[in-house]
């Protein structure tokens, strides 16, 4: 990546600080080759992403999280933000940021770069200021990543603290994109780690329940109470294509992946149970939450996509209460549901081909071809968007598996997470061997994997390894040698 140049006054300060930065002498460069879809039988040795040891050491002398920013520095950051819409670049203002020598502001510089025009004077200046403050050129770690991704990945690897006031400043920036996020940023008690949050490129879906119309300002539109057909009515869908299957109290449903790639959220009722079913395309993870099992005084949660991401996982929210919810864990992060300490209970979701699913579940239902809203769905709406690994910040990835190796995970009643690599588990089961770890057993369901505990209960789902391991960092990982 070509080196960028600042004005004379900014360059002098940058050079001075770069010569005193504390970093490792060598920087590991990742091989972030293409990961594959969870159903294509790909060689899961591809998709390597940086583990913790691949990142250089962070800067020394970083102030504590509760240490306030210098008021002059805060004013300079706000001035840069005000000029963002016009991509203005004031060398004196940026020089003030660099001279403050507080690496924590790297978080906000990365946020600003996310919204800056790539290659603009503003983008280039922010990138160089980040390098001066941290001592590391981010493109040395991830040379092919967009600048804001490389910058944020580096800060995530260091777990660099932000500062008291970062949320408010970040909120000012994000609310310029969508003012409807205001309640999330203004919740002083929210459990959101705002360092992890980035913009996914879409706005919030705040349409009322059952509204089939497109979002007027661009969102990922949830599908509510969709039209279903029997298995024979699903003959339009190719047998080899992936569905996300759910079985509950004797009833089953199949959600075709290409339709879920359009909606990323379905709210429906199965066997008398209200379910909210998010699909994070970036994480390869479809999950199902019981949305009526809430404390007294709460109505059924209606799940929607917020438009924001948390370490490349979509941040969902409850339309009814206005509460942000961690899509991967079901934990309420803000609003009334967070105040009530709600974590939505999950049910298992199986990623199987349609042919195998309907053979095992002949009475299954499937989403109607038009979704019940007279819409057409291309079979590959994303066009391989995620084939080259994560496109948003994730930070370091647990090196035990490739970044996008598909795993099926479950969290045990005692809180212990356990993950099973899908291809390894399939091979062992095809050979007639048991796949067991920590008292839970993997079974084929269709040709997908379902994990069941000894007492018959479980709530397993498939995901890319980077997603499962970052939200469950203490996960146990089954390997074939365990079963032999």
pLDDT digit string, tens, across residues 253-277: 999 999 999 999 999 999 999 999 9
CB 218 within 8 A of CB 202: yes
Asked, for residue 274, whether it belongs to a domain, the answer is: yes
Q: Is residue 110 scored above 60 in pLDDT?
A: yes
Q: Are 452 and 347 members of one domain?
A: no
In a shared domain, residues 131 and 207: no
Number of structural domains (the chain) is 3
Does one domain contain both 15 and 78? yes
Q: What pLDDT score does 82 carry?
A: 82
State the average pLDDT for the chain: 87
Q: Tell me, what's the pLDDT at 48?
A: 44
The predicted structure's pLDDT at residue 388: 83
Residue 52 lies in a domain: no
HSE on the CB side for 35, CA within 13 Å? 26
477 or 29, which is more confident: 477
420 shares its domain with 296: no
The answer to whether position 17 is within a domain reads yes
Confidence of residue 382 (pLDDT cuts 50, 70, 90): very high
Q: How confident is the model at residue 52 (pLDDT cuts 50, 70, 90)?
A: low
Distance CA 391, CA 105 (A): 23
Query: Does 127 reside within a domain?
Result: yes
Residue 346 domain flag: yes
Between 3-17, 77-91, 411-425, the lowest mean confidence (pLDDT) is in 3-17
Q: What is the pLDDT of residue 16?
A: 32
pLDDT band with cut points at 50, 70 and 90 for residue 138: confident
Which of 176, 211, 241 is the C-terminal boundary of a domain?
A: 176
Q: Which residue has the higher pLDDT, 41 or 330?
A: 330
The domain boundary residue, chosen from 176, 209, 243: 176
Cα angle 160-164-169, degrees, rounded to a multiple of 5: 95
Same domain, 153 and 264: no
Give the confidence band of 20 by pLDDT, cuts at 50, 70, 90.
very low
Residues in Cβ contact with 402 at an 8 Å cutoff, skipping those fewer than 6 apart? 35, 44, 45, 46, 47, 48, 49, 465
Domain-embedded: residue 343 = yes
Pick from 350, 191, 345: which is nearest to 276 by CA? Answer: 345
- Same domain? For 342 and 424 the reply is no
| pLDDT score recorded for residue 22 | 31
Domain stop point among 343, 367, 391: 367
Average pLDDT, integer, range 80-99: 81
Task: Give the model's pLDDT for residue 482.
Answer: 61
pLDDT of residue 401: 96
Task: Give me the mean pLDDT over the 389-416 stretch.
Answer: 93
d(CA 354, CA 359): 8
Nearest to 104 by CA among 54, 155, 139: 155
345 in the same domain as 242? yes
Report the C-alpha gap between 363 and 251 in whole angstroms: 8
Query: Which pLDDT band holds residue 45 (cuts at 50, 70, 90)?
Result: very low
Residue 395, CA distances (Å) to 1, 153, 448, 470 in order: 21, 4, 29, 9
Mean pLDDT of 162-178: 95
Note the pLDDT of residue 468.
Answer: 97
The strand pairing partners of 476, in sequence order, are 418
pLDDT of residue 86: 60
Helices 8-18 and 121-134, interaxial angle, to 10°? 30
Total-model pTM: 0.88
**Do residues 293 and 257 share a domain?**
yes
Domain match, 214 and 75 both: no
The range of the structural domain enclosing residue 18 comes to: 8-23+58-176
Looking at the domain assignment, is residue 295 inside a domain? Answer: yes
Q: How far is CA 101 from the centre of its chain?
A: 31
Which pLDDT score is estimated for 87?
Answer: 64
Query: Same structural domain for residues 206 and 172?
Result: no
More confident call, 87 vs 399: 399
> What mean pLDDT comes out for the span 205-226?
93
Task: Please state, in angstroms and rounded to a whole number, the distance separating the CA atoms of residues 378 and 62.
Answer: 49
Same domain, 360 and 229: yes
Please report whether residue 338 resides in a domain: yes
Do 356 and 252 belong together in one domain?
yes
């Amino acid at each position: 990546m070509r080196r960028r140049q600042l004005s004379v006054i900014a360059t002098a300060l940058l050079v001075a600080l770069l010569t005193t930065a504390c970093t490792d002498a060598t920087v590991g460069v990742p091989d972030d080759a293409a990961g594959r879809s969870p159903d294509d039988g790909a060689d899961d040795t591809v998709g390597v992403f940086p583990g913790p040891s691949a990142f250089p050491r962070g800067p020394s002398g970083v102030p504590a999280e509760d240490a306030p920013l210098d008021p002059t520095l805060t004013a300079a950051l706000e001035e840069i933000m005000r000029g963002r819409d016009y991509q203005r670049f004031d060398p004196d203002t940026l020089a003030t940021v660099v001279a403050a020598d507080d690496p924590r502001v790297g978080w906000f510089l990365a946020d600003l770069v996310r919204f800056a025009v790539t290659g603009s004077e503003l983008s280039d200046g922010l990138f160089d200021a980040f390098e001066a403050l941290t001592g590391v050129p981010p493109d040395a770690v991830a040379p092919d990543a967009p600048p804001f991704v490389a910058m944020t990945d580096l800060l995530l690897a260091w777990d660099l603290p932000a500062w008291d006031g970062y949320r408010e400043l970040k909120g000012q920036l994000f609310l310029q994109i969508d003012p409807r996020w205001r309640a999330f940023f203004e919740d002083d008690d929210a459990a959101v780690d705002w360092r992890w949050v980035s913009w996914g490129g879409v706005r919030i879906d705040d349409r009322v329940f059952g509204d089939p119309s497109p979002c007027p300002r661009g969102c990922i539109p949830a599908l509510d109470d969709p039209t279903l057909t029997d298995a024979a009515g699903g003959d339009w869908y190719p047998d080899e294509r992936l569905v996300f299957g759910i079985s509950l109290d004797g009833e089953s449903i199949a959600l075709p992946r290409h339709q879920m790639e359009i909606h990323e959220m379905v709210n429906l009722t199965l066997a008398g149970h209200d379910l909210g079913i998010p699909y994070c395309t970036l994480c390869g993870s479809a999950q199902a939450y019981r949305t009526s099992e809430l404390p007294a005084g709460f109505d059924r949660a209606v799940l929607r996509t917020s438009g924001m991401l948390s370490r490349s996982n979509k941040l969902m929210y409850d339309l009814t209460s206005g509460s942000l919810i961690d899509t991967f864990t079901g934990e309420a992060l803000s609003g009334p549901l967070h105040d009530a300490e709600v974590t939505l209970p999950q049910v298992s979701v199986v990623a199987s081909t349609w042919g195998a699913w309907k053979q095992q579940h002949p009475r299954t239902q499937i989403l109607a071809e038009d979704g019940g809203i007279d819409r057409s769905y291309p079979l590959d709406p994303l066009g391989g968007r995620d084939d080259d690994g994560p496109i948003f910040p994730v930070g370091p990835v647990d090196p035990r598996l490739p970044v996008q190796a598909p795993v099926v995970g479950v969290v045990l009643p005692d809180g212990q997470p356990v993950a099973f690599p899908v291809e390894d588990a399939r091979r062992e089961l095809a050979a007639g061997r048991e796949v067991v770890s920590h008292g839970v057993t993997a079974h084929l369901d269709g040709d997908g994997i379902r994990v069941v505990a000894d007492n018959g209960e479980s709530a397993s789902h498939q995901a890319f390894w980077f997603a499962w391991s970052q939200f469950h960092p203490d996960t146990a990982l089954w390997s074939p040698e365990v079963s032999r």
